[in-house]
Amino acid sequence: MVMRMLRVLGVLFLLAGTAERSQAQPPPPPPQPLPPVPVPPEYPITEEKRILGKILFWDEQLSSANSIACGSCHIPSGAGADPNPATHPGPDGTFGTADDVLGSLGVVRRDNAGNPIADMVFGFNRQVTGRAAPSYFASMFAPDIFWDGRATSEFVDPLNGSSVVIATGGALESQAVGPILSHAEMAKDGRTWSDVTNKLAVVTPLAFGYAYPPDIAAVLSGSATYPDLFANAFGDGAITPVRIAFAIATYERTLVADQTPWDLFIAGDTNALTPQQQLGWEHLRDRTVCTNCHRPPQFTDNQFHNIGLRPASEDTGRMAVTGNANDFGEFKTPSLRNVGLKGSLMHVGWVTSAADAVDFYISGQVNNGHMQFTADQSNIPGTPPGPARRYDNINIPVLDMNGQPFRAAVIDFLENGLTDPRVANETFPFDRPRLSSEAFMVPPGVPASEDWSLTILFLGLCCAAVLSRRILIRRS
Ligand code: HEC
Ligand code: HEC
């Protein structure tokens, strides 16, 4: 009798233990696919707007000196970021010091007449942005964009700075009107919107680009002008900054990188991730705090955090926008989609790969050349409301990643499991024309007929020049 009672008690105890364990560690909720792209109801996506936006995004004539397009700093095969970063001297204005960052090459400073002038920092060289160019293939989901969120969800007509054109969900529009008048990125000093719209009214669209992708070639084959393209998109040929913004933002909203191996994996294709990448994904999800901020399926929470890349006084980040001291040194969490294609990560640009980013996060544990400036990481968020998640504990160190095989597996997952092959290979909708600045380069994936001919011609001319010089020297 006593033995039976003990056995029953034992079973009950075991059951209670199992119940307690399963309560503490319920299986993680199944990951969700990317939600539909939010589109401002006032301005639905149409093919005419998309194609106009694509042409504008890649047209170097959007800059004052016809030298740079939006796409120059946002190359698809570089994840929509800039694969060729350049040094900005940081707040001290001196190159070669600890506060330098890697930004994007903009334009040579020009006065209002379009003549080059010496910039205080860059002289007659091309200016460089003070932060790295981020990817924008997940920006359509974010309420406010730019590293500090200063391109707001509310889009105001830049012509008067007060009429609200989109009440919420217009961050891409708010952003698009920024670079066009920025003297560092695309503009001469004092450039006005009339300068921009009058120019677009008369130039040949994409006159400086070449190797057009099929959708652009089809539209431009009938020698369409910008007024024609604006009329197709908006009903009449008027060119306004608001319409430029709508068209560019519409194009950007169609660039959803949702065919990564991870997307296929969660949709049921169990072979889409290699066993090592699956291990990396599960480790990232279950045993690190990474996904508290880099939340699937977007792999960002679109919030702002200070992860301690530099002393926050060097760039106050979000605080400069909100004026709130709690936002000191905070920057927007970038999506980790396509991060394997980036060579210049974080807002400082000097983090060189996902592996280097992991090394930055574990720098408290190992001596790897990185350090974090925030010892206090208590602002790491928990998971959003919803079913509890295994290991949902912000005290589990970010650093719990240094032992093999987890570090290699996590890096493999980040670098390959989140890469959409259409982005990597620049295939539709991520295809694009070539820029005049690329004329003598052979970018990956370009048909030989398009670029080799120019390159061979150039090399041929160089050889001819060298040979004729030799002959001349020998003769004299
Ligand atoms: C000179 C290089 C350069 C040019 C030209 C340029 N950008 Fe950028 N872009 C940047 C940099 C640098 C940032 C980050 C700036 C910041 O956050 O302070 C950025 C940020 C963005 C973002 C925000 C992404 C996010 O989620 O935060 C978008 C979208 C974007 N650019 C689109 C464009 C468009 C559209 C154009 C043309 C109208 C353009 N860019 C022209 C360098 C450039
Ligand atoms: C507290 C929120 C938070 C946590 C936790 C976090 N990150 Fe980040 N992550 C960010 C923010 C914010 C940035 C951008 C920082 C900046 O530029 O100032 C970032 C940047 C990155 C980048 C660079 C991406 C790019 O496109 O530039 C990578 C890679 C990255 N994190 C991976 C990780 C990994 C791996 C972990 C876990 C070890 C992790 N993050 C944990 C918020 C977080």
Report pLDDT digits (tens) over 278-312.
999 988 888 777 888 899 999 999 999 988 899 99
Give the pLDDT confidence score for residue 375 in this predicted structure.
Answer: 56
Nearest residue to 85 (alpha-carbon basis) of 302, 344, 322: 344
Q: Which residues contact 41 (CB under 8 A, 6 or more apart)?
A: none
Ligand 1 pocket mutation pick from 61, 84, 102, 185 by most atoms within 8 angstroms of CB: 185
* The two structure tokens encoding residue 319: 């605080």
| Residues near ligand 2 (Cβ within 6 A) | 135, 288-290, 292-294, 305, 307, 309, 331, 333-334, 336, 339, 342, 345-347, 354, 357-358, 361, 380, 398, 401
Sorted by sequence, the CB contacts under 8 Å of residue 66 that are 6+ apart come out as 60, 208, 436
Nearest atom (ligand 1) to Cα of 177: 38
Both tokens assigned to 388: 């509890």
pLDDT digits (tens, 9 = 90+) for 197-252: 999 999 999 999 999 999 999 999 988 999 999 999 999 999 999 999 999 999 99
Residue identified by tokens 């690190």 is 288
Per-residue confidence band for 128, with pLDDT thresholds at 50, 70 and 90: very high
* Cα–Cα distance, 364 to 371 (Å, whole number): 7
What's the mean pLDDT in 431-449? 67
Q: Is the dihedral of CA 334, 90, 185, 107 positive or negative?
A: negative
Of ligand 2's atoms, which has the minimum distance to the CA of residue 347?
17
HSE-up (13 A, CA, CB side) for residue 115: 2
Q: How far apart, in whole angstroms, are the C-alpha atoms of residue 362 and residue 354? A: 12
Atom of ligand 2 nearest to the CA of 362: 38
Whole-angstrom distance, CA of residue 168 vs CA of residue 171: 8
- Give the pLDDT confidence of 45-83 residue by residue, as tens digits: 999 999 999 999 999 999 999 999 999 999 999 999 999
pLDDT: which is higher, 25 or 117: 117
User: Torsion angle of alpha carbons 452, 454, 457, 463, nearest 10°?
Assistant: -80
Between residues 433 and 472, which one has the greater pLDDT? 433
pLDDT at 476 over 50: no
